[in-house]
Amino acid sequence: MPHSEITRSLFDQVMVPNYAPLDMIPVRGEGSRLWDQKDNEYIDLTAGIAVNALGHAHPELVNALTEQAQKVWHVSNIYTNEPALGLAQKIVDNTFAEKVFFANSGAEANEAALKLARRVAFDKYGEDKSEIIAFYQGFHGRTFFTVTAGGQSSYSDGFGPKPANITHLEYNDLAALEKAISDKTCAVILEPLQGEGGVLPITPEFAQGVRALCDKHNALMILDEVQTGMGRTGELFAYMALDIVPDVVTSAKALGAGFPIAAMLTKTDLAAHFVVGSHGTTFGGNPLACAVAGKAFDLINDQKLLDGVKQKEQLIRKHLQLINDEFSVFKEVRGKGLLLGAVLNEQYQDQAKAFFLESAQQGLLVLVAGANVLRFAPALNISDDLIEQAMLKLKQAVKNVVNQDTE
């Protein structure tokens, strides 16, 4: 089919309508810039929703992929493979983890984590210990188990009977957790910063309190770092700044820096409950994915890059403040590292989409997190110069929305 026949309207003809993509179709990227079919240029502050941590078409990642592509693409888990073992070794050497399970998406990594927690509890304490505690506004993926653990029932309603025994509580409310948790709880699952739920940071007291209560009740602390992991908050993983050691951490998104891969990280004694045949996936640990992720791991696990994330956070915050001084649109800017949310004030309630669409008109790609939050999750190596250019475009977009509002 010639390029000219592939348009956004084709999406409506041939794709399941569960997404509502923009009209423009990106065809090419380089670093933090993207071009569409008409060669319009955009600055990308989305990084594919916190995925392309090193920007588009990073030459070293392209090399890693093409080199592996000449060797072996897929062998299944009947065999192991060198890129998977190499990546697992790097993860074990640089985190709390002693064992790694590879999957293909964040949801699958969390599915594995929840199943592991249930299995550990079943093996050690019997079937009554099966309660999972999760939090409102949390997001853990779209498999039926993970979406039910997520904190918005509207995402899990309407699909028939839900996986049972999942309790939801207010995030950052330690007293509520203390009241709810019991010896029947097998796991507490949470994000160290709720991304999709509105870019809500955790308090260190809550993180440490969850750890202590999980210890008290022999429950696993599962930290969903699908969005925060791999440098996003300025640490390799966000838990590293919280003074806790979780039992399980899940990673995806930036792990492959744009190539689909996910991982569940855990300890040897827990991993031992996933005996041969108890869990699995065809594609998990795929050599192409692991070759790219191995190279991405080396590039992201670099103190200079991680320090840069913190410095770029300040630069973006400074510009958001300046924009707000002029136009009074944000109530607060929250988040950590390069996962930042600008929360709209009362006057612009529920209008995040308008800012998002007007930004795209200005050649700037940003994200929303719910109806009230503009979310920024650029590549971790975006240049300061490009941030400055992006903020000029954002300023223009904000100005246009504010003017439309007052017309």
Residue 196 contacts ligand PLP per CB under 6 A: yes
User: Is residue 111 part of an annotated ligand binding site?
Assistant: no
Catalytic site residue from 101, 139, 145, 297? 139
Which of these segments, 34-42, 93-101, 105-113, 210-218, binds ligand PLP (CB under 6 A)?
Answer: 105-113
Query: According to the annotation, is 281 in a ligand binding site?
Result: yes
Distance CA 339, CA 232 (A): 6
- Smaller CB distance to ligand PLP: residue 140 or 211? 140
Residue 157, marked binder: no
Contact 327, 402 (CB under 8 A): yes
* CA 108 vs CA 52, 70, 261: distances in Å: 19, 28, 10
What are the beta bridge partners of residue 336? 339
Single residue of 84, 107, 181, 289 touching ligand PLP by CB under 6 A: 107
Interaction of residue 106 with ligand PLP, rule CB under 6 A: yes
Distance of alpha carbon 62 from alpha carbon 53, whole angstroms: 14
- Give me 179's structure tokens: 């009241």
Which residues 241-270 are close enough to bind ligand PLP by CB under 6 A?
252
Q: How many CA atoms lie within 13 A of 35 on its CB side?
A: 8
Instruction: State which residue, 50 or 397, has the beta carbon closest to ligand PLP.
Output: 50
Q: Minimum Å distance from CB 108 to ligand PLP? A: 7
Which residues, numbered 154-193, are part of the site for ligand PLP (CB under 6 A)?
191
- Any known ligand binding at 225? yes
Instruction: Check binding of 46 to ligand PLP (CB under 6 A).
Output: no
Q: Is the CB of 224 or the CB of 358 nearer to ligand PLP? A: 224
Q: Which of 139, 145, 206, 356 binds ligand PLP (CB under 6 A)?
A: 139
Q: Which is nearer to ligand PLP, 48 or 363 (CB)?
A: 48
139 catalytically annotated = yes
Cα 191 to chain centroid, rounded: 9
Least distance to ligand PLP, CB of residue 145, Å? 12
- The DSSP string of 199-253 is SEEPPHHHHHHHHHHHHHTT-EEEEE-TTTTTTTTSSSSGGGGTT---SEEEE-G
**Which ranges of 7-150 does DSSP label H, i.e. alpha helix?**
8-14, 47-50, 59-69, 82-94, 106-125, 144-149
CB of 171 to ligand PLP, least distance (A): 12
Shortest Å, Cβ 12 to ligand PLP: 23
Residue 218 and residue 211 in contact, taking contact as beta carbons nearer than 8 Å: no
Number of CB atoms found within 10 A of residue 145's CB: 21
> Which residue in 224, 274, 295, 393 is the catalytic one?
224
Single out the residue of 145, 182, 152 nearest to residue 166, CA to CA: 145
| 337 and 233 Cβ atoms separated by less than 8 Å | yes
Among 44, 111, 131, 224, binds ligand PLP (CB under 6 A): 224
**Applying CB under 6 A, what is the total number of residues that bind ligand PLP?**
14
Task: State the amino acid at position 236 in one-letter form.
Answer: L
Q: Does 140 bind ligand PLP (CB under 6 A)?
A: yes
Paired with 56 in beta bridges are 31
- Contact status: 201 vs ligand PLP (CB under 6 A): no
Least separation in angstroms between residue 64's CB and ligand PLP is 21
Residue 224 labelled as part of a binding site: yes
Q: What are the residues whose beta carbons fall under 8 Å from the beta carbon of 120, sequence distance 6 or more?
A: 186, 220, 270, 273
DSSP 296-320: HHHHHS-HHHHHHHHHHHHHHHHHH
52, 137, 148, 227: which one binds ligand PLP (CB under 6 A): 227
- The interface mask with ligand PLP, positions 60-99, x = CB under 6 A, is ----------------------------------------
Sign of the torsion angle spanned by Cα atoms 160, 162, 167, 171: negative
Residue 358 touching ligand PLP (CB under 6 A): no
Query: Nearer Cβ to ligand PLP, position 196 or 247?
Result: 196
111 binds ligand PLP (CB under 6 A): no
Applying CB under 6 A, which part among 224-232, 280-288, 347-355, 359-367 lies near ligand PLP?
A: 224-232
253 is catalytic: yes
CB atoms within 10 A of CB 395: 17
Name the binding residues for N(2)-acetyl-L-ornithine. 142, 281
Catalytic amino acids? 139, 224, 253
Interacting residues toward ligand PLP by CB under 6 A: 105-107, 110, 139-141, 191, 195-196, 224, 226-227, 252
